[in-house]
A and B are shown apart, each in its own frame.
Chain A
Amino acid sequence: MARKIQEINAGSMADIAFLLLIFFLVTTTMDTDAGLGRMLPPMPEENAEEPPPINERNTFIVLVNSQDKLFVEGEPLDISQLREKAKEFIANKENRDDLPRKEMIYVEGLQREELICKTAVISLQNDNNTSYKTYIAVQNELMAAYNELRDEFSQNEWGKKFDDLDKDQQTAVKKVYKLGISEAEPKITK
């Protein structure tokens, strides 16, 4: 007489799976690394020549002092106004004389020439006692200024946001609004 094969009891399978599940639940850290990306300037060579002085109108000096107060182009400014001020500088929409010089430059992705502030640089200076929090907040505002201008440009050109553009278009926009934040050499400040 053929014996009936007994069904395997799978009741404890759930227990085993639960055990593993709890282990992974506990060890999981959903810590995604995100942050503000930057490029540091290379270390100047020992006997390198002095770099040519940058024209005053092409630089936008942001100084954060030891009390976390901002001085933009020599004047105190609240951080909430920094974004607008930076945008005004980067874009120089009215082609003013005291803001960066614009040049007609051929942009590949657009297949036409565009007025670009090629040499505009935002120089971010800080004190040794500046808090990191403020420093990042300032960096963030400056980055936001660039991102807003890029978005605006993309919207006019293609009716899309910068992030939704394809690679060539992004390169083109990046050329029009080239990120120019210089993290200044540390200076001895009082």
Chain B
Amino acid sequence: MAKFRKNDKGEIPALNTSSLPDIIFMLLFFFMVATTMKETEYLVSMKYPEATEIKKLEKKSLVSFIYIGPPTSAYRAQLGSEPRIQLNDRFATPEDIQAYIATEREKMKEADRPKMTVSIKADSNTKMKIITDVKQALRKASALKINYSARQKVE
């Protein structure tokens, strides 16, 4: 009694790939969850300074960003390589910061406003002058909670 009939033709049966989509979907969901879309296009290039005592910024919605660094290659011809300030999608001067903070604050919920954090994302080769100007402008706008963006130092 041949209960187990041998495939007498000797063919290799087709590989069952029906679980492949499941695996791919799993990966897909991982990346969908982990993805944060870049909100602004950088006009300045930044290489953050290194530090060891860094803390993660918790709530993205409470954070406004100020980018400082030399303009990217596309703008270098017009603007030179001196570090510049970028707010949203355009170049700015320290005088614009107060207005920027005001609009950012306006966008937040009333209850969240005191918790507003400003993240200063500056290139490590920037001179302190521009940073000090930004800090003074932030003080004027009374946005006192700041965060200096840094990378984790690998030892």
Contact = CB atoms under 8 A, between A and B. Distances in A.
Interface in B65-82: none
Interface in A67-100: none
Contacts of A35: 48, 51, 54-55, 57, 119-120, 147-150
Interface residues of B, number: 55
Interface in B11-37: 17-18, 20-21, 24-25, 27-28, 31-32, 34-37
Most buried by A among B119, B135, B150: B150
Nearest to B33: A24
Contact of B144 (A11, A18, A29, A39): A39
B153 to A, nearest CB: 8
Interface string A1-22: 0000000001101100110110
Contacts of A136: 49-51, 124, 148, 150
Interface stretch (A52-60, A139-147, A170-178): A139-147
Interface residues of A, number: 45
B61 interface: no
B54 A40 contact: no
A24 B139 contact: no
Contacts of B131: 132, 135
A127 B129 CA distance: 8
A21 B31 contact: yes
A42 interface: yes
Interface of B: 17-18, 20-21, 24-25, 27-28, 31-32, 34-38, 48-57, 60, 63, 117, 119-120, 122-129, 131-132, 135-136, 138-140, 142, 144-152
16 contacts: A21-B28, A25-B31, A27-B35, A34-B57, A35-B119, A36-B51, A37-B55, A37-B146, A42-B144, A43-B139, A132-B49, A132-B124, A132-B125, A132-B127, A136-B124, A139-B51
Given A14-B24, A27-B37, A132-B125, 15 more contacts: A14-B20, A21-B24, A21-B28, A33-B60, A33-B149, A37-B147, A39-B145, A42-B142, A126-B128, A131-B126, A132-B127, A133-B125, A137-B49, A144-B52, A183-B135
